[in-house]
């Protein structure tokens, strides 16, 4: 009996979270801060297997950047214009990007864009590549990630700061051929 009851509550909880995150139409209208919070919490559980215990809010003052993670408060801000222009799918990739910063930072792992932990986790959960320099991180650090090598066989992506000749390398996962690409810098998030 107890087993059934636990299972029921578990299901109900997941169900409620999904419903709370659902008010967005396909155009992303109707998402307020509470819905965003539920949305981030759901993605955190589903894609990272860990809870998001801080606050996610919209910030309309963000310009080209899609989202921000704050090292001091652990809160996340998302640009609502991103949602209006590109819809929930693109916004979800930004949320995943910010959650990569969030979970790696809290786990004392490499949470910066240049860190291997970050690059790998981002590829794993399918987040978007860019966001503005993190508040609290010193400028004048390494050059930004502007290039990518993509495996033509398995699709794995390798982010790079410098131009490089793809013919001299092979995919570390499957040994496939790599394709060199320049990332679109206007697509920051
Ligand atoms: Zn970022
Ligand atoms: Zn590959």
**Listed residues: CB within 5 A of ion ligand 2:** 151, 153-154, 156, 171, 173-174, 176
Give the Å distance between the CA of 111 and the centre of ligand 2.
24
C-alpha 158 to ligand 2 mean position (Å) = 10
Q: Which ligand is nearest to the CA of 104?
A: 1
Q: For residue 29, what pLDDT is reported?
A: 57
Question: In the prediction, which pLDDT does 178 show?
Answer: 92
Distance 48 CA to ligand 1 centre (A): 16
CA diameter of the chain: 63
Which of these is catalytic: 98, 120, 157, 188?
A: 98
Q: Which pLDDT tens digits describe the chain residue by residue (189 residues)?
A: 434 433 333 333 333 333 334 344 444 456 899 999 999 999 999 999 999 999 999 998 887 788 999 999 999 999 898 888 888 988 999 999 999 999 999 999 999 999 999 999 999 999 988 654 444 444 455 677 788 899 999 999 888 888 888 888 888 889 999 999 888 643 333
The model's pTM is 0.57
Closest CA to 188 of 84, 75, 68, 103: 68
> Ligand 1 centre and the CA of 179: distance in Å?
24
Q: Is 98 considered catalytic here?
A: yes
How many angstroms separate the alpha carbon of residue 85 from the centre of ligand 1?
A: 20
pLDDT of residue 81: 86
């Amino acid at each position: 009996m107890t087993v059934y009851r636990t299972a029921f509550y578990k299901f109900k909880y997941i169900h409620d979270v999904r419903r709370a995150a659902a008010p967005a139409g396909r155009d992303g209208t109707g998402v307020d801060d509470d819905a965003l919070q539920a949305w981030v919490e759901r993605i955190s559980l589903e894609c990272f297997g860990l809870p998001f215990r801080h606050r996610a809010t919209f910030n309309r003052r963000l310009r080209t950047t899609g989202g921000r993670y704050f090292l001091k408060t652990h809160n996340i801000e998302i640009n609502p214009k991103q949602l209006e222009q590109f819809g929930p799918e693109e916004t979800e990739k930004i949320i995943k990007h910010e959650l990569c910063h969030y979970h790696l930072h809290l786990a004392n792992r490499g949470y910066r864009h240049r860190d291997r932990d970050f690059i790998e986790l981002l590829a794993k959960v399918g987040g978007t590549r860019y966001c503005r320099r993190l508040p609290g991180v010193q400028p004048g650090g390494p050059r930004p990630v502007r290039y990518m090598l993509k495996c033509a066989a398995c699709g794995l992506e390798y982010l790079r700061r410098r131009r490089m000749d793809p013919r001299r390398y092979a995919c570390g996962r499957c040994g496939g051929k790599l394709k060199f690409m320049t990332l679109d810098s206007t697509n920051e998030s």
